């Protein structure tokens, strides 16, 4: 199924030459895919790691490449018994196009009342332009969309379920590319993975997508720990979190005030997002301008979430109440006037470390094998990563620093303001 026709080369700085068929390569010239060239993969992370300016387009091509290598190995190990040529090409197209519905600065838009990017991706795949192009690749457009958008009905197709497990799981091509690519561009060693050896230890599982033999356990451990280190050092770096929540507060308050509508944010690139936010007639619009100019708010205090609350999320009304309460407490204790517009409470969203992978020899879960990882390990990763921070305007920060002991004393008594 993958023996011929892959004649169009793309030169990638991570994986070298990546080959596509002319029909698949045509997808990279579509308007929907071209937008990804203008969206940074890591949003504001370049403010901390200057090399982190790589695009979602480059990442998407990398995901396609790993998906192709993965499916080739699975075909050699018996997957050809239950997958079709049409399904295989649908999977490759889904891997290439999986991010076309993504928002710019996507982590700043999590938890906001917007359509999920997978749903938007599915709609774009079924649009006239892409539907036509996908049809010429040997893929089925609906199957391609359903592999990405899990809300689309699969009409009993076990093959679609199989591809969903491949594209979104412990060893999905998305993760295998972004860990390597992001680490390379940030100049850190944490994300580098031995992809070829990892893929060589995989076996097809019709119901679960993948299983791995015991020789690959160390590679799974490396991937899990790499994800933890990348979140700790890159994705959730203090200054990256600051820029993220500044953008989130700008967008959320603009949406709540009616100066911005969800549809205004669809199909934008990075430049388009900042241009749109600059037109918002709301006091919070300044936050986006500050991020664009690299002026990030400092953190006055940070502390870890309690272990029994690491999986919790907050609704926005509760967050608003907490910020109002903290502003009142700081003003009362220090005598320094602090308004709710001068601070942001950052409580990162819940994070999971997927381990639902079976061992090929025994068909038992990965965590039952000879590994140092356990459910407690995953919980400890989340506990260390999910740090509560309070960011403030620089002038407020300077004033509060002179009263740091009072600030620390009142805010560490979380029962007075932290309602989880």
| Full domain range(s) for residue 18 | 8-236+353-366
For residues 342 and 351, what is the distance between their CA atoms, to the nearest angstrom?
Answer: 28
Instruction: State whether 86 and 217 are in the same domain.
Output: yes
pLDDT tens digits, 45-86: 999 999 999 999 999 999 999 999 999 999 999 999 999 999
CATH code of residue 386: 1.20.1250
Region class of 344: left (phi > 0), else alpha (psi between -120 and 50), else beta: beta
189 inside domain: yes
Instruction: State whether 51 and 186 are in the same domain.
Output: yes
Structural domains counted in the chain:
2
CATH code of residue 28: 1.10.3210.10
pLDDT tens digits, 128-178: 999 999 999 999 999 999 999 999 999 989 999 999 999 998 899 999 999
Instruction: Give the burial class of 349: count Cβ atoms within 10 A of its Cβ; 0-12 exposed, 13-18 middle, 19 or more buried.
Output: exposed
For residues 16 and 238, what is the distance between their CA atoms, to the nearest angstrom?
Answer: 33
Instruction: State whether 201 and 290 are in the same domain.
Output: no
Read off the DSSP letter of residue 215: G
209 inside domain: yes
Which pLDDT does position 318 carry in this prediction?
84
Confidence band of 310 (pLDDT split at 50, 70, 90): very low
Q: In this structure, are residues 354 and 169 in contact, taking their beta carbons and an 8 Å threshold?
A: yes
Region class of 340: left (phi > 0), else alpha (psi between -120 and 50), else beta: alpha
302 inside domain: yes
377 inside domain: no
pLDDT tens digits, 360-402: 888 888 888 888 888 888 888 988 998 999 999 999 999 999 8
Instruction: State whether 260 and 123 are in the same domain.
Output: no
For residues 305 and 382, what is the distance between their CA atoms, to the nearest angstrom?
Answer: 9
């Amino acid at each position: 199924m993958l023996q011929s026709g892959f004649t169009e080369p793309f030169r990638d700085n991570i994986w070298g030459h990546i080959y596509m068929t002319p029909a698949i390569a045509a997808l990279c010239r579509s308007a929907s895919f071209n937008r990804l060239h203008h969206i940074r993969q890591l949003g504001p992370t370049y403010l901390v790691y200057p090399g982190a300016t790589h695009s979602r387009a480059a990442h998407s091509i990398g995901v396609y490449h790993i998906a192709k290598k993965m499916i080739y190995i699975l075909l050699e190990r018996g997957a050809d018994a239950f997958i079709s040529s049409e399904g295989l090409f649908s999977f490759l197209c889904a891997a290439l196009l999986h991010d076309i519905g993504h928002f710019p600065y996507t982590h700043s838009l999590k938890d906001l009342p917007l359509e999920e990017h997978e749903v938007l991706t599915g709609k774009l795949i079924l649009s006239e332009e892409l539907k036509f192009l996908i049809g010429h690749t040997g893929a089925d457009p609906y199957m391609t969309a359903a592999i990405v958008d899990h809300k689309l009905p699969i009409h009993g197709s076990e093959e679609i379920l199989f591809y969903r497990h491949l594209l979104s799981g412990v060893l999905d091509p998305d993760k295998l590319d972004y860990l390597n690519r992001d680490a390379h561009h940030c100049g850190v060693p944490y994300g580098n993975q031995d992809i070829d050896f990892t893929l060589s230890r995989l076996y097809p599982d019709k119901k679960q997508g993948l299983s791995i033999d015991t020789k690959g356990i160390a590679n799974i451990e490396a991937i899990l720990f790499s994800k933890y280190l990348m979140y700790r050092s890159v994705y959730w770096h203090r200054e990256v979190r600051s820029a993220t929540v500044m953008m989130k507060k700008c967008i959320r308050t603009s949406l709540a005030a009616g100066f911005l509508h969800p549809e205004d944010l669809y199909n934008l690139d990075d430049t388009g997002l900042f241009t749109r936010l600059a037109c918002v007639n709301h006091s919070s619009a300044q936050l986006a301008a500050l991020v664009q100019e690299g002026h990030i708010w400092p953190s006055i205090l940070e502390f870890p979430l309690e272990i029994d609350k690491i999986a919790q999320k907050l609704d926005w009304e509760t967050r608003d109440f907490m910020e109002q309460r903290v502003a009142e407490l700081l003003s009362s204790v220090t005598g320094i006037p602090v308004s709710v517009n001068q601070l942001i409470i950052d409580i990162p969203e819940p994070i999971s470390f997927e381990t639902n992978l079976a061992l090929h020899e025994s068909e038992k879960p990965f965590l039952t094998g000879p590994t140092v990882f356990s459910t407690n390990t995953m919980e400890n990763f989340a506990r260390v990563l999910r740090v509560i921070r309070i960011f403030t305007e620089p002038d407020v920060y300077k004033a509060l620093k002179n009263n740091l002991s009072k600030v620390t004393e009142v805010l560490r008594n979380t029962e007075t303001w932290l309602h989880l």
